Amino acid sequence: MKIAALIFAGSLLVCCAYGQNDGAWVKHFYQNPDDKHFDAFWKKVVSEKYLEDQEKVSTLMGFVSQVLHRYPALIKGRLDSPQTFPEKQRDLVYLLLWESDTKEGRAILEQNGKTELAAKPLPPIATWKITDAGDLDYCWGYYFASGDTKALDPILSALDWGKYAGAADKYKTSQKTAADGDAALKDVLFQTAIWSLGANGKEDAGVFQYMGKVFLDPQTSKLRVLWVGVVLNKIKPEKYKLVLPEEKDKG
């Protein structure tokens, strides 16, 4: 199994990936929902083949699906003719229509013979599983468009892999068994998640406040509390102080 070098979530680089104007619009959309910029943005998506760009596509899918969910009228004239898209992009267009979770999107799927997908219910974002860095990006895109903090739950779940910290470095000199590869991947996802939560939590009050809620929730596992605490401490050390076990005994 080949383990790629650590890739930070594309959501953190969204302004670089989409340009300052588009990037700022994406990251702050839920705070100031305005679909007037969407047409110009979508034209760029099509002309520059963002749906074929691995660095952009995951965040794009999460973001656009939720903009369409909020403004289903945007589907007409942009995604209502999937067959006009290049073959490499067509399946992603179908997924966008499904992930928009709109009657308009499902009708287009039906018209194009995607009856099974049209009938398939969209699972709640909080239940989505993280299997690669693209899943993290998708959740960030979803959050930027909707402001739904449930999209942060899958990202926070990757903190549970903190127990694999260091596995990515060890993989370089390991026997590279399936177990070694699995541990290394989980370490990469853990590091990516913790960095993305720190960067976005510093900029976005909603992310920071939700992490504070998770931190104080008695249902949150001790391991997740630990790593959420680490992130919160880096953002606001004056509010969230880390106390080492030996210091705790001293009060």
How far is Cα of residue 68 from the mean position of the Cα atoms in its chain? 17
Count CB atoms within 10 A of the CB of residue 26.
25
pLDDT in tens, 78-89: 999 999 999 999
Q: Which two tokens stand for residue 206?
A: 């909603």
* Single-letter code of the amino acid located at 28: H
Reduce the DSSP state of residue 85 to 3 states and report it.
coil
pLDDT exceeds cutoff 80 at 2: no
User: CA 183, 185, 189, 192: dihedral to nearest 10 degrees?
Assistant: 110
pLDDT band at 9 (very low <50, low <70, confident <90, very high): very low
CA distance 74 to 85: 17
SS3 104: helix
Q: What is the pLDDT of residue 34?
A: 86
Q: Which residues in 58-207 belong to E strands, given as ranges?
A: none
pTM: 0.90
Q: What is the pLDDT of residues 77-125, one digit of tens each?
A: 999 999 999 999 999 999 999 999 999 999 999 999 999 999 999 999 9
**Is residue 59's pLDDT more than 50?**
yes
Q: What is the largest CA-CA distance in the chain?
A: 69
Range 160-164 contact pairs with CB under 8 angstroms and sequence separation of 24 or more: 160/221, 160/223, 160/224, 161/186, 161/187, 161/189, 161/190, 162/190, 162/194, 162/223, 162/226, 162/227, 163/223, 164/190
Confidence tier at 149 by pLDDT (50, 70, 90): very high
Residue type for 244, please? L
Q: What is the reported pLDDT for 242?
A: 76
State mean pLDDT over 52-62. 93
Domain ranges of the chain: 10-127, 154-248
| pLDDT, tens digit (0-9, with 9 covering 90-100), for 10-31 | 444 565 566 667 788 999 999 9
Residues 6+ apart with CB under 8 A from 96: 61, 64, 65, 68, 79, 105
Structure tokens at 208: 């920071």
In the chain, helix, strand, coil percent, each to 5? 70, 0, 30
Q: At what angle do helices 103-111 and 87-99 cross, to 10 degrees?
A: 140
Task: Please indicate whether residue 248 or residue 179 has the higher confidence score (pLDDT).
Answer: 179
Residues in Cβ contact with 20 at an 8 Å cutoff, skipping those fewer than 6 apart: none
Identify the CA nearest to 152 among candidates 62, 92, 32, 68: 62
